[in-house]
């Protein structure tokens, strides 16, 4: 069964579209128009037909599908290979209140919000106001908007909250804001950072040690896909290698 308000994925094997359903509306593609009501009636695993006769299979999209192929990117996103590890490393689960700064296009926010629902919440601080509307739209595509609050504020200013169970920071110079981050986290709360270069990692580690953070760890995750051909299995010619260095620690 599909309910109004859910996001579905339509695919014909070559093209994919992600639609949040609303009764009475029509979705246009280069292959023709599709009525939302027809999609709801078809159900997951069913087929719908455009007014030109082209057929699409109706799928329930995974978070990976939505993040990699569905959301609109106005910034670089944190890839699932990192966001999944971040979410587990921070121990995110229901009822937790989580600090995020540098929401960007909302890729990581979607994964973390899914982990803390139905009673937890992600509190995002975004310095660039121009990214906020798109991030909200992307989070809504995943049906997770009620678990997220985005505020237009930089970490340069002290945060009004001091109750966060965990945090993740993706900003250019986090070492400048470690005191404000520390004051917003509960004692012992885990926190993570994403940084693209080693000199940024070194500066952040120094600041974390100076402010009493413990259990510090630096990790880089690599991902390599293989061509799914049974008789000549081999790696793909390209891979997602370096996306960033991850730092983890706890508020000591």
Give CA–CA dist 70/86, Å, rounded. Answer: 21
CA distance 227 to 243: 22
pLDDT tens figures, 9-36: 999 988 899 999 999 999 998 889 999 9
Q: What is the mean pLDDT of residues 187-208?
A: 97
pLDDT recorded at residue 85:
97
Segment (H or E) for 43 = none
Cα 2 to the chain's mean position, in Å? 24
* Predicted pLDDT at 113: 98
Please compute the mean of the pLDDT values over residues 166-195 and round it to a whole number: 97
Q: State yes or no: pLDDT of 240 exceeds 80.
A: no
User: Residue 60 is encoded by which pair of tokens?
Assistant: 């329930």
Query: Which residues are CB-neighbours of 229 under 8 A, at least 6 positions away?
Result: none
Name the average pLDDT for the chain.
95
Q: 48-75 burial, b if ≥16 CB within 10 A, otherwise e?
A: bebeeeeebbbbebebebbbeebbeebb
Which pLDDT score, from 0 to 100, does residue 86 have? 98
Q: Per-residue confidence at 241, pLDDT binned at 50, 70, 90?
A: confident
């Amino acid at each position: 069964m599909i309910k109004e308000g859910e996001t579905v994925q339509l695919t014909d094997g070559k093209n994919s579209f992600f639609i949040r359903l609303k009764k009475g509306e029509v979705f246009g593609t280069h292959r023709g128009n599709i009525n939302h009501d027809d999609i709801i009636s078809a159900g997951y695993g069913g087929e719908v037909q455009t007014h030109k006769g082209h057929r699409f299979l109706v799928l329930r999209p995974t978070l990976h599908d939505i993040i990699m192929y569905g959301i609109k990117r106005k910034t670089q996103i944190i890839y699932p290979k990192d966001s999944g590890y971040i979410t587990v490393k921070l121990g995110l689960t229901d009822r937790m209140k989580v600090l995020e700064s540098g929401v960007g296009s909302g890729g990581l926010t979607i994964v973390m919000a899914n982990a803390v629902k139905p009673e937890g919440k992600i509190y995002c601080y975004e310095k660039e106001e121009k990214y906020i509307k798109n991030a909200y739209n992307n989070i809504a595509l995943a049906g997770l908007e009620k678990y997220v609050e985005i505020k237009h504020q930089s970490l340069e200013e002290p945060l009004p909250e001091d109750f966060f169970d965990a945090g993740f920071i993706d900003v250019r110079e986090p070492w400048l804001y470690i005191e404000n981050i520390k004051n917003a986290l509960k004692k012992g709360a885990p926190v993570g950072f994403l940084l693209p270069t080693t000199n940024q990692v070194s500066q952040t580690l120094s600041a974390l040690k100076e402010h009493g953070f413990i259990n510090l760890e630096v990790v880089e995750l690599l991902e390599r896909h293989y061509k799914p051909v049974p008789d000549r299995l081999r790696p793909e010619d390209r891979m997602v290698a370096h996306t960033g260095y991850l730092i983890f620690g706890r508020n000591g």
